[in-house]
Structure 1
């Protein structure tokens, strides 16, 4: 009996893994991407860890993921929040003992450099899409500016990197379908890097808890423009903060499934963040900043909350979460695996 039970558990685990790798294969080509439920990761590259000089502080302050991009992909994640900035490294030429500057588009979270680059993420996603051509990826990116870094070449470097991957990149249009996006990547940037985007530009991003769908943000593509309702309320350190966050998450879920909203904005896109932090610290900084434990504590509340409210077939939009693909991180039950599966299953 024990062997039968163990065999059953292994079979279920294998099925779940296979399903997550290719879950978009079960979605019809003519389904609009804006009406899907898509798991995503906030500060997606922190799962790689941080460069040596940033490891101690980064792990204490800025860790929001346990899994790297490949592992997130295997878990079913298809949307990735990236924060590139220009990292400069002085190299010594042995012949003349002169210094030359090497510039890299490193992925950061705040002041801390992860062990992944912008180009490196594209390499991972290219390999993943080649192995699983029924799938697609969505990148939501912004310039992670810092007074301690020279980001003056950011626009040119981002444009060049995207041009190098132009065979993968799809132009945004509000009625984009699954069939049009399969095997490719939609890049949505919150910062501009050229007059017209390679993908789309998001304008009007919001950080409040109001979820006012009648004052939407916009996504501007090369030739078409669409509407976006976004919830990215992230600071829960004040009394009542967690309650406000949970209400905002639920409010956006209701908006995404509202007939009234669909009548006025038939192709509105939705981005719902469960991510955020509950605690701050001055351990490594003069001013209070978020902590990894604060992200974990918030995820334990928000990921479980949303997973429990996803019932049957519904639209969640892009759900950007911390600790996706794992149910335990540190001392917290973050329920990131449970939420990813709930989002996928709602399609």
Structure 2
């Protein structure tokens, strides 16, 4: 966090801000604690990655900040506008500046529409003219590497996975948004296609001055596209910071475990790897939610929720023992001397 002296600068540069964001679902089995008190800022022009195992709450967080999920508590602001207080009409108007690229590109595309119709669907809803829609369709399809004449007449079932994802990206960019949330945008693609799509996203971000929230479980992907990283576990933040700080000096035991799970040459372990299953969000552990799997757990971890504290210029961690355990090697996981993912 920046200091109070540059509060004005911070407010001007922050595109998306979440404070104590909470998302819970009532089910016959109890309350699902999907996201619990998450706070973060995304600055203009940067890419913030949300990282963690399946079920950690990263996708729910991404959908909640766009009001695609019902927010139980907390506040989400977009350019100083409180999204949680907006009714459907004003929210719909503001959504032209916020878009999402979904994980399964084919499933997110209407099979009855042509590619040309799909990419300008938002403009049609906004009652833009047919001439404007045709011009924009040609432009955005060309920008994502598709032929407007050939691919524009196709339907989603005729596209490859990579082509479908390019259409999804084109649709997100057609209305010139400020913010794009990318939910696992390459996880459904072959490795050979992933690199093409990631390079495309990076090029389009620079060209259009986009601000991105990039959701992924793949640390190698995250490192290649992100400026800052937010590690989540069972609905809470474990660690945040710049890519260099989090990957180079991971402070939370869970972050270190994630990094050690990535195949790398010349890696040595100083102890056992992370074991056990992720607890149910219906009944998360008291105190630190990672304590049931943490090799550095102490008594305080079961009774007190760790607060997020600053340990570097842009590096924060929520752990009672992070600095001491890492320094002493007590966590039992090592990333020192190994190449990053």
**TM-score, length of structure 1 as denominator length:** 0.31
- Which structure: larger Rg? 2
**TM-score, length of structure 2 as denominator length:** 0.32
